[in-house]
Structure 1
């Protein structure tokens, strides 16, 4: 069944800088406009309208367009422009704006708003914790027109004196600005992957060679990428430099470049790009050298006879290879997959031939932790289920938000029962496909779960996650999560740190204590596969496996396109050595059902909760 799966995930772009550059860059340098880009454009327009204190009806109209586009399960760019209103359900006016953006990369109202807004003020919309109204106050009352001016005003204690701000808000702004500055010049993995693959294809065509490959951070599948590295074989490096200097979207940096290395940046992200130019005979060696962390290349190999290369780097200097597998074979090592080449103990395992067969996307048989229109999802329960079934999976775990998540339309107990009745009906209709009754229960500030046991016992499984009060210190935060893990109804710990990559630091946790507790209480830990999260961090996967903790690759999908994020979770799991056997959602539907039932059978709810809310 796995062969039926499709990767329907649209590319993800940091769209605010893209839109600003859309006004000054020629069309040939612009990235393609997909559904996600459209959503962000219309949301940005709504934010800018609010920033300029314009008509509330217009603001809601643009927000409505964004929400409608987000709910679509097909690429809008594939629709005939004249058919947009019928296919999308948008008004003719909104559809015309969508068509304009598909054709030009922007639309008239957005262009107008950007033209009257300083670019630095647009950047401020990306700062966590301050919305358009607060930004307007900062801009109009303090003259703040960018992140650096905002930092200066906050450091001078000017922000706290504005009405509606205060010292706490000022401190939060400073923390957000510091995190943002550390994230500059980086992209999420999916963005970098698409950009790298596009550049590789264009370079192949320009150099008329097949020997162009993506290396570096992208090939090792790091969660965020600072530099895109390509290795290209050519007999004419001077000509390659000339070609690269004229490729749309690339800006050369002569100071960092050399005869055999072109370096520069890619528009509009500003991400660093390096192209290593090598002789065809050196291609494999150079790709290997530029696809592994220095610690992997320089780690001393065990039991090397005198006079033999003592590291992989030394071996590559001594001999040319045609295949990467031959490099490891020559060194007496088991082959190490590119994503594991970090110098974190993988060579010792390779020396002992103990590297496991890593998890693959085709091993996954179901998807857990997903949302529907019952809370903040874009697609109905039926749509989420049938899409997953039609793509070759056996089961769906639905985990809409719990009642404390007011911002996400969290489910009150009566709506829990309503959803569970619908699940019962759909399970009869869709069998053998199975929908498991789950919930993403908020972990409250004291570590308790967000329902009484009488509600919790109605679920097949419970994902416990932190969504609020993210500023606890490590001791309090860890104690809070440990208490949730100890709750017998907690089946799985969701996105352990709550981080949003490049946007928000994670919740401070004692990871060892949390993982040890999950091992003790038989709690699964998710690798949240949303590219903004990728949490549990891959650096803790190996420790979790050592403690016998099972992991689950969960997309946290809020729409059907979100299922394709599971591939990113698989990548992170593989980096940490995750296997099929230790991944929960490689179980069949029957095996998962048996696991949930057996686990629930061990729970002894307190006597005071024996009367069911649901009768």
Structure 2
């Protein structure tokens, strides 16, 4: 596809340290399972060998070059290095994640807590999570456990406090809701000629840790004093003439940076990040005998660029790179080759393939949803209420769904320019069967298969479950493929590479669910789907008419995943879509 990155650029960046950490994590999890000590030692030795390698193993793998001979790395571990280089993980690690309680895995990340102590905590005190550990620390039970002396208890208390602070993340809508009035406030201040959000919100990360605001003003000290008068500020954590950090009433931290006009573009680029992207740009500047920082691009005392971001990139021999791609995951190489993707935009969508009405757990009628879609100028909207297994969502049995299909026929006769597609969000049961009989599924235009339960299955079980569901001749789209709920529930264990490849073989599709607490697929799996030629449906999963606006979040995630218009299922016309849906059967 024109403008597509090379295959190797479409996957998460993996270095030797990442490969070594995967091997160490496997060793830790195997030790938790009391596996063969020689096997555990083999993975620990492999981690040391990988760290000692002189060349980037992932770079060799992606270039098709043979791996060097490393101590303790035989055929099996070499194969795992190849898989990790391409995916950032490996099936064994995913299987172990499915077998070991997630809370125990989190405990391993604390200082001085190895597998032996995690087992001891579980056996003696029944501690299987950070919350359990915090409670035992608070009530004194931990202090009575052999081997947990005052020094270790202090380390754990400090680590738990720091972890809690780092986990104060926010969903995009919450961060936006606080950024927008703040921007209006600072843009209205005397002396401020420009102000922009930078950081992870500008890059459209799925969750936001803090806000970064870059302001353009010449009298920085006077402007900063008025910035700090913003009423929702509950705490000024640090303040200076050109930079300050505050905490809002909501708990969200905001970092302000004020620069002059000649440095505004450089500062915006610098504080937008990501850190890895910035490091790569600064390295590129050094290779050209220059220095890049938040004030501009310099050769000696001469300022080469800084007023605009475009000028900074141009002076480095690159076109401007959109913020969503700035993760040092191939974008600089693609920019240098003139191969940056033409990313999908909200206006490219011709319809939505996942929404609910009050026939299941939605708030509006089928007709209301149709009219809202019609006002948006869409060509089609799939009605996909829940199937019967999801009782909590008032799922529909065969009789109720049949009645809804008749209603869709009636409403379609009245609509002008919009076609309602007959669909259902059908539960994928634990054994991989679908929740409705084939005799009803064959009447549908689209079957959106979804996992809504049995999340604790192993990676192998989840993978078999989903592949079997895909093998149904009526299966069309896999909804929210990893089941994650941001800040609430991790993705379930599943081999997404196998799922994506099976989707390609079957001719079915994957959903990028635009609900801000899902944004599922993540950007890495979006890129993998793109490379495998599997189209992605950006879907609102709307439960009310206003939810169609959530598609903007889905488009942002798709852009982070390098998706172009041609990679997205619902950029097709109705005729093209019908052809694709029919071909998947």
Q: TM-score if structure 2 supplies the norm length? A: 0.69
Question: Residue 238 of structure 1: CA displacement?
Answer: 2.4
CA distance in 2, matches of 1:155, 1:474: 35
Alignment deviations for residues 367-387 of structure 1 (CA, whole Å, 9 cap, x no partner):
111001111111111110011
User: Which position in structure 1 is the counterpart of 2:432?
Assistant: 447
What aligned pairs does 1:342-491 form with structure 2 within 5 A after superposition? 342-491=327-476
Question: Residue 414 of structure 1: CA displacement?
Answer: 0.9
User: Which position in structure 1 is the counterpart of 2:69?
Assistant: none
Corresponding residue to 2:228 among 245, 254, 265: 245
CA distance in 2, matches of 1:305, 1:186: 34
Specify every segment of 5 or more residues in structure 1 that has no aligned partner in the other structure, as ranges: 1-146, 159-176, 601-615
Using a 3 Å threshold, how does the CA distance of structure 1 residues 263 and 317 change in structure 2: closer, same or farther? farther
Corresponding residue to 2:526 among 536, 541, 557: 541
Question: Residue 363 of structure 1: CA displacement?
Answer: 0.5
What aligned pairs does 1:4-403 form with structure 2 within 5 A after superposition? 152=135, 181=164, 184-254=167-237, 256-268=238-250, 270-299=251-280, 307-309=288-290, 316-318=297-299, 319-403=304-388
Question: Residue 506 of structure 1: CA displacement?
Answer: 1.8
Give the conservation status (yes or no) of the 8 Å contact 2:191–2:223: no
Give the conservation status (yes or no) of the 8 Å contact 1:377–1:559: yes
Give the conservation status (yes or no) of the 8 Å contact 1:312–1:331: no
Using a 3 Å threshold, how does the CA distance of structure 1 residues 301 and 518 change in structure 2: closer, same or farther? farther
Alignment deviations for residues 444-489 of structure 1 (CA, whole Å, 9 cap, x no partner):
0111111121121111111111001112222222222222223222
CA distance in 2, matches of 1:403, 1:454: 15
Alignment partner of 2:426: what SS? strand
CA distance in 2, matches of 1:542, 1:367: 21
1:517 to 2:502 alignment: yes
Give the conservation status (yes or no) of the 8 Å contact 1:249–1:266: yes
Using a 3 Å threshold, how does the CA distance of structure 1 residues 466 and 585 change in structure 2: closer, same or farther? same
User: Which position in structure 1 is the counterpart of 2:550?
Assistant: 565
Alignment deviations for residues 340-377 of structure 1 (CA, whole Å, 9 cap, x no partner):
11111111111111112110111001011100111111
Alignment partner of 1:424: what SS? helix
Question: Residue 237 of structure 1: CA displacement?
Answer: 2.6
CA RMSD of aligned residues (A): 2.8
User: Which position in structure 2 is the counterpart of 1:57?
Assistant: none
Alignment partner of 2:422: what SS? strand
Alignment partner of 1:355: what SS? coil
Question: Residue 181 of structure 1: CA displacement?
Answer: 4.5
Alignment deviations for residues 485-525 of structure 1 (CA, whole Å, 9 cap, x no partner):
23222111100111111122221222212212212212211
Give the conservation status (yes or no) of the 8 Å contact 2:263–2:294: no
Give the conservation status (yes or no) of the 8 Å contact 1:188–1:532: yes
CA distance in 2, matches of 1:561, 1:307: 50
Alignment partner of 2:567: what SS? coil
CA distance in 2, matches of 1:211, 1:463: 45
Question: Residue 585 of structure 1: CA displacement?
Answer: 0.6
Question: Residue 151 of structure 1: CA displacement?
Answer: 5.2
CA distance in 1, matches of 2:522, 2:424: 23
CA distance in 1, matches of 2:318, 2:552: 28
CA distance in 2, matches of 1:297, 1:157: 46
> Which shifted more, 379-388 or 299-308?
299-308
Using a 3 Å threshold, how does the CA distance of structure 1 residues 459 and 503 change in structure 2: closer, same or farther? same
Q: TM-score if structure 1 supplies the norm length? A: 0.66
Alignment partner of 1:299: what SS? helix
What aligned pairs does 1:495-514 form with structure 2 within 5 A after superposition? 495-514=480-499
1:585 to 2:570 alignment: yes
Question: Residue 303 of structure 1: CA displacement?
Answer: 9.1
Give the conservation status (yes or no) of the 8 Å contact 2:270–2:294: yes
Give the conservation status (yes or no) of the 8 Å contact 1:309–1:315: no
CA distance in 2, matches of 1:364, 1:475: 35
Question: Residue 184 of structure 1: CA displacement?
Answer: 4.1
